[in-house]
Amino acid sequence: MGTEHAVIVGASHAAAQLGASLRQGGWQGRISIVGDEAIPPYHRPPLSKDYLAGQKHSDELLIRPAAFYEKSEIDLVLGSRVTAVDREQKCIVLHDGGNIPYSKLALTTGATVRKLTLPGHELDGVFYLRDLRDVDRIRGYTGPGKSAVIVGGGYIGLETAASMRKLGMNVTVLEALPRVLQRVTAPEVSAFYSRVHREEGVTIITDAAVESLQGSSGVTAVKLADGTELDADLVVIGVGVLPATELAEAAGLAVDNGIVVDEFARTSDPDIVAAGDCTNHHNPIYDRHLRLESVQNATDQAKTAANTLCGKLEAYHALPWFWSDQYDLKLQIAGLSQGFDRVVLRGATDSGRSFSAFYFSGDRLLAVDAINRPKEFMMVRRALSTGLSADAEKLADETVDIQQAFS
């Protein structure tokens, strides 16, 4: 074992990949992953899906079995919060005052939930949903016939609603904007999700202004500005996340809506890389600076960061993709739709549960939302990665084989 020490801060998707890729890439020295959660890196997406619905055990969430880290000689330092990065001494400082020296450092601190300071936000039964502990606490309040109010009609809010319906609960989703998923999808896709959730028994209230959460010790109701009162045994707030950049900022690294990294995942300090939800990087496909919140980005950027630490500079050049599971709907998204001026639909949105929405800017295909259409997702993923162009008319015509729409 060489004398060099790669220290990874944060122990989740990006960290697990970075550690594994360092070993694969030939890193000879020590590797430590330091995270403040108590268990080895686990899959976060099932938290609002199968795990919340009671269809998965926590053991099934691990990204890699604990034995993998042992075999790969990766030290897991769990339950340890890092409070500072001392770039002069080249060490990280832990919450208990101890420190760990590094030769190379990777920041994979992810994101933290955006909090709402509504009157009543401190009541028992009011939750955010980001980590395993959150869901374990939430599950103490769920059960058939109980009422849940979910604040936020984004992916996490809607997935939580679907899982709670599976548990036989009364569910209301409150969305402040005129439609659910407004920031990320076309109106047709929002309307589709609203319809399906209503068919599944969820009450969706858009343009909802939450005034207060009510109750004496535990939450009992949510009051809206128009006077509506909704019974609530629990409230889950899902109104987005913020990049966890405090350590980087305090250490004087460049931060701008995420830790700024170059195409090799390098921060403004040559000995420090960063990957995942905490970063802001330039995407060459869309020629835009992005802060992504996805497993794909955490994993792929971590590979780039590991290569960089192993002395192999390979630019990060990945097409963003994402998924969301709600009921029997498997949504797969390839590309980024922001900036679209036209949506082409293949299949019906006002009936059934399968269609694709293709997003265009002029003639340029930007992205697809494919619902229960894995083939169309794969086709677009390939086309966007290889620079193929798409024929909107053929995409809209279900009698034309999807392959013929790309050239």
Ligand X SMILES: Cc1cc2nc3c(=O)[nH]c(=O)nc-3n(C[C@H](O)[C@H](O)[C@H](O)COP(=O)(O)OP(=O)(O)OC[C@H]3O[C@@H](n4cnc5c(N)ncnc54)[C@H](O)[C@@H]3O)c2cc1C
Q: Which is nearer to ligand X, 323 or 327 (CB)?
A: 323
Q: Write out the binding residues for ligand X, residues 289-348 only, by CB under 6 A.
A: 293-296, 298, 322-324
User: Which string of DSSP letters, residue by residue, matches 260-276?
Assistant: E--TT-B-SSTTEEE-S
Q: Which is nearer to ligand X, 47 or 395 (CB)?
A: 47
Which residue in the set 149, 156, 208, 395 belongs to the binding site for ligand X (CB under 6 A)? 156
109 near ligand X, rule: CB under 6 A: yes
Q: Write out the binding residues for ligand X, residues 355-374 only, by CB under 6 A.
A: none
Minimum distance from residue 392 beta carbon to ligand X (Å)? 27
* 102-110, 184-192, 219-227, 280-288 -> range binding ligand X (CB under 6 A): 102-110
7 near ligand X, rule: CB under 6 A: no
Burial 40-69 (b: 16+ CB within 10 A, else e): bbbbbbbbbbbbbbeeeeeeebebbeeeeb
13 near ligand X, rule: CB under 6 A: yes
106 near ligand X, rule: CB under 6 A: no
Q: CB-based contacts of 372: which residues, under 8 Å, 6+ apart?
A: 328, 329, 330, 353, 354
Alpha helices in 43-94 (DSSP H): 66-71
* Cα→Cα distances 96→79, 82, 84, Å: 11, 9, 12
Q: Which is nearer to ligand X, 100 or 111 (CB)?
A: 111
- Give me the sign of the Cα torsion angle 302, 304, 308, 310: positive
Minimum distance from residue 301 beta carbon to ligand X (Å)? 8
14 near ligand X, rule: CB under 6 A: yes
Distance, C-alpha 347 to centroid of its chain = 28
HSE at residue 396, side-chain half, CA atoms within 13 A, is 9
Minimum distance from residue 160 beta carbon to ligand X (Å)? 8
Q: Which is nearer to ligand X, 120 or 238 (CB)?
A: 238
Q: Write out the binding residues for ligand X, residues 61-100 only, by CB under 6 A.
A: 81-82
Minimum distance from residue 322 beta carbon to ligand X (Å)? 5
Q: Which DSSP category does 233 fall into?
A: S
Q: How many CB atoms lie within 10 A of CB 9?
A: 29
Which residue in the set 47, 222, 234, 261 belongs to the binding site for ligand X (CB under 6 A)? 47
Which pairing describes strands 355-361 and 342-346: parallel, antiparallel, or unpaired? antiparallel
Q: Which is nearer to ligand X, 50 or 376 (CB)?
A: 50
Geometric angle at alpha carbon 46, from 43 and 52, rounded to 5°: 135
Q: CB-based contacts of 250: which residues, under 8 Å, 6+ apart?
A: 84, 85
21 near ligand X, rule: CB under 6 A: no
Query: Cα(283)–Cα(94) distance, rounded to whole angstroms?
Result: 33
- Binding string to ligand X for residues 224 to 263, with x set by CB under 6 A, is what? --------------------x--x----------------
* 9-17, 67-75, 198-206, 254-262 -> range binding ligand X (CB under 6 A): 9-17
* 11-19, 260-268, 336-344, 370-378 -> range binding ligand X (CB under 6 A): 11-19
Minimum distance from residue 43 beta carbon to ligand X (Å)? 8
Query: Cα(16)–Cα(275) distance, rounded to whole angstroms?
Result: 11
**Where do contacts with ligand X occur on this chain (CB under 6 A)?**
9-15, 34-37, 44-45, 47-48, 81-82, 108-111, 129-130, 156, 244, 247, 276-277, 293-296, 298, 322-324
